[in-house]
Amino acid sequence: MRGYRTIKYTLFIFCYFFWVVSAVLTAVGIYAKIAKEKDVVDTLTLDPALLLIVVGSVMFLITFLGCFGALRNATCLLKTFLGILATVLLLQIAAGVVGYLFTDMVMERTERLMMKAIVRYREDQDLENAIDFIQKKFQCCGVEGYKDWSQNVYFNCSDTNPSLEACGVPFSCCIHQQNQTVLNTMCGYGMQQLEEKSAVQDVFTVGCLEKIVWWAKNNLLLVAGLTGGLLLLEVCMICLAAAQISRIKRVQRKKEDDAQRGNSERKESYWYPAFADFDDE
C-alpha cells in the first residue's frame, strides 16, 4: 500500500508542477496578446505570445489529465495521459533523428524562419524584443551577417528608402563600450554602408545562426543534459502512470474475485449437501 501511495503522489506532484507552469505560460501569453496593438504578426512561428498560448494550453490539458487521474485513481484519464505523453516522446525522438539525418535541410528551414522574423521586426513588439535579446545574448547581428537587415523595410539600404534607419542595423547589434553609461539607440545607423573591417569596430557582424550553432557545439554537454533530462522525466512519468494503472487494475480484479467468491458461497448456502440427514419430527 505504501508503494502505491508513493507512485500516486509522485506522479501527482510532477503533473501539478508542470500544470502550474503551463497555467503561468498561458496567462503570460494571453496578457501579451491582449496588450498588443491590432494588425500585428499573427502567425504561430513568428508570434511569441501566440506560441506561449498554444504551448501552455497543450501542457495544461495534458498535465490536468495526469493530476486528476492520479488523484482520483481514474484509469481512463491516466490511460489518456499516458498515451498522449508517449506520443509526444516519440515525436521528440523522431524530430531529433530527422534533424540529425537531414541537418542541411533543418538549417535551411531555420534560416528562412529567422529571415522572416527580420523582415517583420518592426511589426510585432514581442518579436522585436525577442530578436534584440538574441542579438545581445549571442553578440550577433542578422542571420548570416549584419547586412541581412537590408531585408527589412526600415533598414533597407537603398536610395529610395525614406526611413532614418536606412542602411542601418538595430541598436542590439552594437558593441557595448565599457565606459558607456547611456544607451545610444542610434549607434547602428549607416553601418551597412561600411565594410566588415570597419563595421566590426562598432557592431557585431557575425550572423546569429552561426553564433547559435557555435554555442550549441561548445555547450554540447549542457544541451545533451537538458534534452536527456527532459526525456528521462517524460519516461519516468509514463512509467509512474503505467504502474498506477497496473495497481488499480490489480485491486479491481481482487475485488471482483472476492465478490464472485462471496456470491458463490451465498449460492451454495441455498442448497443442502447431497444425502444430507434430516430429522423429520
Q: What is the pLDDT of residue 214?
A: 92
- In angstroms, the Cα distances linking 76 to 51, 70, 73, 279 are 29, 11, 9, 57
**82 Cβ partners below 8 Å, 6+ apart?**
238, 241, 242, 245
| Coil, helix or strand at residue 174 | strand
Q: Where are the domains of the chain?
A: 2-119+231-242
Distance CA(36)–CA(270), nearest Å, equals 77
Grid coordinates representing 281? 419430527
pLDDT tens string, the chain, 281 residues long: the values are 667 888 899 999 999 999 999 999 999 888 877 876 554 555 555 577 788 889 999 999 999 999 999 988 899 999 999 999 999 999 999 988 988 888 888 899 999 999 999 998 988 788 888 899 999 999 999 999 999 999 999 999 888 888 888 999 999 999 987 776 677 778 889 999 999 889 998 999 999 999 999 998 899 888 889 889 999 999 999 999 999 999 888 888 888 877 777 666 555 544 444 344 445 44
Q: What is the pLDDT of residue 276?
A: 41
Pair 144, 210: CB distance under 8 Å: yes
Q: What is the pLDDT of residue 96?
A: 87
Q: What angle do CA 229, 79, 14 make, to 5 degrees?
A: 35
Instruction: Enter the pTM of the model.
Output: 0.75
Residue 145: beta bridge partners? Answer: 206
Pair 40, 62: CB distance under 8 Å: no
- CA 68 to the chain's CA centroid: 22
Distance CA(188)–CA(165), nearest Å, equals 8
In angstroms and rounded to an integer, the radius of gyration of the C-alpha atoms of the chain is 31
